[in-house]
Amino acid sequence: MLLLHLARQSLSNRLLTTSLTALSIAFSVALLVGVENVRTGMRESFSNTVSGTDLIVGSRGGTIQLMLYSVFGLGSPVANISHETWEEWDEHPAVSWTIPYALGDSHQGFRVIGTNESFYEHYKYRGGQSISLAEGRPAEEVFDVVLGAQVAERLGYGLGDPISVTHGMSDVGFMNHDEMPFEVIGILDETFTPVDRAIYVTLEGITAIHLGWEEGGPPMPGEEIHADHVHEMDEIHVSQITSFFLGAESRAYTLQLQREISTSEQEPLTAVIPGLALSEMWQGIGYAEDGLMIISGFVVLVGLLGMLVSIYTSLDARRREMAILRALGAGPRRIVSLLVLEAGLLSALGAFLGVIFVYAGLAALQPWLEGEFGLLVPIRVLDQAQLMYIGAVIILGFVAGLVPALKAYRTALHDGLSVRV
């Protein structure tokens, strides 16, 4: 207890230096623990993007590319698949349900997805949660549109507002389908997944806006097809989709269906199991993740090194203090223990402040992370890995204290008491 009291008094006498050193360690620990929190949140958000889907099917190509454009709304598909092929697999005896996706258009940078009522009924995320509507109803008519929560918030749209779709993916539309405006009839609840950053129309709607584009470009002036013409049509024939999500009647059929789809001679297709594909994608991202943790570790070491330098350089000013302690009977072990304890207290104080900074930062930044990146970083009790990191920082603090302690041990008694001229 005496050593603890002396250590506290010594640190309080050097309040400015102590505060700056503790803050440097605190910011280092906050970065280390914060990165771990964000990494955990990223992993959970990543793996929970889609749930309850047994297979995702698209044109023949890479599995990661299929996941990127179907689930995350990134990149472009290699090719489309025929509507007839999707219908055949939808009616397969081992298939319970399918969700078709038709991609290729956007609105102010947000991807427009053509789908049907199965999306609202069967699409699930984060542990089997179903999507739901915050306002309105699902898209049913040709020019109905349902907005993801983030789209509605950023663009300020509400029910009844008209929107025009842009051909291709672009923030600035050069080829707009202005002649066929859609009407907002629903807004989805927030999911913190890519669903929030997409716009959903019907398959007939995505087909209708491309009537007259059969040659690969917009129709000539005067030959445009307008919304009134579409409403007069008895039926709009959907010829292509981009991919579809599939739920099997039983999980036992999943591998069988994957093999049948991937080896089908009717049309070259790729079928991936979402969980396995997401794990494969995360492994690729994991290299950057590990690099970030290494950088955080080096930042912690720099903070501890700063503490070591601070204590070490302060020894010149504390020679008299050390000499008086030894003159009063404090043995070498007491001197060493005192300086090691000071270093340990500094690192423990820095670690404690660092944890406070992490929780305060998460509370402040959580809405921004969710809104900007769809990243849900929950505020929860420190896990075992984080406690190990903090414990390692405190232990390293004690170890770092040995360097100045050994120097103080070697300092001669008369060197501290002598008067220099």
Residue pLDDT, tens place only, 42-75 = 777 777 788 889 999 999 888 888 998 999 888 8
d(CA 328, CA 273): 74
Contacts of 123 (CB under 8 A, 6+ apart): 50, 53, 99, 130, 131, 195, 245
Number of C-beta neighbours around residue 211 at 10 A? 17
Provide the pLDDT confidence category of residue 146 given band limits of 50, 70 and 90. Answer: very high
Provide the pLDDT confidence category of residue 386 given band limits of 50, 70 and 90. Answer: confident
Provide the β-strand partners of residue 243.
58, 101
Strands (E), 212-350: 240-241, 243-248, 269-272
Please tell me which residue, 252 or 135, carries the higher pLDDT value: 135
Query: Among 151-165, 247-261, 276-290, whose mean pLDDT is lowest?
Result: 276-290
Q: Does residue 96 have a pLDDT over 50?
A: yes
- Overall average pLDDT of the 20-27 stretch: 85
pLDDT of residue 82: 93
Provide the pLDDT confidence category of residue 298 given band limits of 50, 70 and 90. Answer: confident
- Overall average pLDDT of the 277-284 stretch: 77
Number of C-beta neighbours around residue 85 at 10 A? 19
- Overall average pLDDT of the 95-123 stretch: 93
Provide the pLDDT confidence category of residue 414 given band limits of 50, 70 and 90. Answer: very low
pLDDT of residue 416: 46
pLDDT of residue 347: 87
Residue in 97, 281, 115 with CA at minimum distance from that of residue 195: 115
pLDDT of residue 374: 63
Query: Among 67-81, 363-377, 383-397, 399-413, whose mean pLDDT is lowest?
Result: 399-413
Provide the pLDDT confidence category of residue 316 given band limits of 50, 70 and 90. Answer: low
What are the tens digits of pLDDT across the range 209-266? 877 665 556 665 655 666 776 776 767 888 899 999 999 998 889 999 999 999 888 8
pLDDT of residue 419: 45
pLDDT of residue 32: 82
- Overall average pLDDT of the 162-186 stretch: 78
- Overall average pLDDT of the 386-395 stretch: 86
Eight-state DSSP code of residue 316:
G
Identity (one letter) of the amino acid at 175? Answer: M
- Overall average pLDDT of the 279-286 stretch: 72
Q: Does residue 115 have a pLDDT over 90?
A: yes
Residue in 39, 269, 234, 76 with CA at minimum distance from that of residue 168: 76
Question: Could you tell me whether strands 144-147 and 198-202 are parallel, antiparallel, or unpaired per DSSP bridges?
Answer: antiparallel
Query: Among 12-16, 202-206, 236-240, 323-327, whose mean pLDDT is lowest?
Result: 323-327
How far, rounded to the nearest angstrom, does the alpha carbon of residue 280 sit from its chain's CA centroid? 16
Total residues belonging to the chain: 421
Phi-psi region of 108 (alpha: psi -120 to 50; beta: other; left: phi over 0): left
Residue 307: exposure state from Cβ atoms within 10 A (0-12, 13-18, ≥19): buried
d(CA 232, CA 142): 12
What are the tens digits of pLDDT across the range 331-372? 667 777 777 888 888 889 988 999 999 999 888 888 777 766
Burial 31-66 (b: 16+ CB within 10 A, else e): bbbbbbbbbbbbebbbbbbbbebbbbbbbeeebebb
d(CA 103, CA 105): 6
d(CA 63, CA 270): 7
Quick check: helix, strand or coil at residue 368?
A: helix
